[in-house]
Amino acid sequence: MDAILRHWLLLLVGEDHSSTSLNLMFLGLIVVLAVVGYFIARGLLVIIERIVRRTPTDWDDDLITSRLLDSISQLAPALIVSWLLPGAFDNDANLFRWLTLLTRLYVLVMTIRIFAIFVNNLYSAVARRPSTTMFAVKGVFQMLKLLVIGIGIIIGISLLVGKTPLTILTALGASAAVIMLVFKDTILGFVASIQLSANKMLENGDWIIADRHSANGTVEEVSLTTVKVRNWDNTVTTVPPYSLVTEPFINCRPMQLSGGRRVARSIFIDVNTVRHLSTDEIARLKSQGYISSDDMDALDPDGRGVNLKLLRRYLVRFLENNQLLNHAMTTMVRQLEPTPSGLPLQLYFFTATVEWVKYETIQSDIFDHIYAVINEFGLSIFQTPAGRDFCHPAGPDNTSA
């Protein structure tokens, strides 16, 4: 082909020119053909892009983008130059060698760029699909790009020094320890991201709690070197992926999928107020609906009953009748071991919603009712005395605050 072009060039300008002038004119012709080749390739790829946009599938739209096609079209000038270049500098081997080297480096860089753009498009397509958006695959795609860039760098060095890529790899093997030290976080992050995804330990959108890293919020991104967590105060915490593999953290996704969120909260009863209720007090509680007919079986033979026991039975009944709770899960009211701050009476139940605001509202409403009704049973909640309690001590004519 270059012989044909040189023949037409001689017919056009004549043969009364020096070899250098003819070489320069032939080089200019190559540049013109390279530019024309770019626009022709770009036009053909635009047609391909329009065909892709009209297909019913979405995957090809995500993978074949304008940026990718433009990068591919930029290969056409380099391929034309590398094809026609030998005929332009047959008498100048040194210049031909340098131009060939630059052309090959340009082709290498554009090839790496095309692959990087394709990997980005593939990740965007995967991350956009509902069926795959939960997987932490960004680190895998980033590692793939780094691998290709690393291979490209090795090939580029081999072109510059005139050695084979295998020779360059052998030389790099001698400094493997240094390379491992430099890319330690990248390698650990790559392995950790695969473990997190393969073992389904972490997904985008999960609510995680990692106290050691002050992370308590939603996972926004799992990349090669960081896991970004947007905390509930809208701050962002970045956590190394490998630390989530080697250190414990809480993932609240199973709770969110279960349909119920646990409440395990205690009130501290003043032990000095635990006593038997008289028959008159029991009659009053029964008339007010705090004691049911079933509770009468829990009374002593003399008709009296322990106020704390009756309170527990009432609270269990109160929770079981609450339609905002998930009754398919455990519901109970139990005593814990006494403490210097009183006797813990724990309410253990699950709400029927996992939405944060509704969960807190249901929990607060239940305990508001408990704080209001507990005095009806003759019980008091333990509270550390304040200055007002010492100024106005409880007595026959005074009640403690």
DSSP state of 341: T
User: What is the b/e burial string over 32-50, where b = at least 16 CB atoms within 10 angstroms of the residue's CB?
Assistant: ebbeebbeebeeebeeebe
- pLDDT confidence of residue 78: 78
Per-residue CA distances from 264 to 46, 178, 336, 352 (Å) = 63, 52, 12, 15
- pLDDT confidence of residue 271: 92
Alpha-carbon gap, residue 291 to 282, rounded angstroms: 8
Query: CB-based contacts of 123: which residues, under 8 Å, 6+ apart?
Result: 137, 138, 141
Contact 73/38 with Cβ under 8 angstroms?
Answer: yes
- pLDDT confidence of residue 182: 67
Mean pLDDT, consecutive 10-residue stretches, the chain (401 aa), reads 49 50 61 78 81 76 78 79 62 67 82 85 76 64 79 82 74 64 73 75 86 89 84 90 86 87 94 90 89 80 84 94 93 94 94 92 95 93 75 53 38
CATH number of 137-251: 2.30.30.60
Alpha-carbon gap, residue 235 to 229, rounded angstroms: 8
- pLDDT confidence of residue 146: 78
Contact 192/201 with Cβ under 8 angstroms?
Answer: no
- pLDDT confidence of residue 128: 73
Alpha-carbon gap, residue 90 to 23, rounded angstroms: 9
Q: What is the pLDDT of residues 296-331, one digit of tens each?
A: 877 877 778 899 999 999 999 999 999 999 999 999
- pLDDT confidence of residue 180: 67
CATH number of 259-391: 3.30.70.100
pTM above 0.85, yes or no: no
- pLDDT confidence of residue 310: 92
Alpha helices by DSSP H, listed for 74-164, are 75-84, 93-128, 138-161
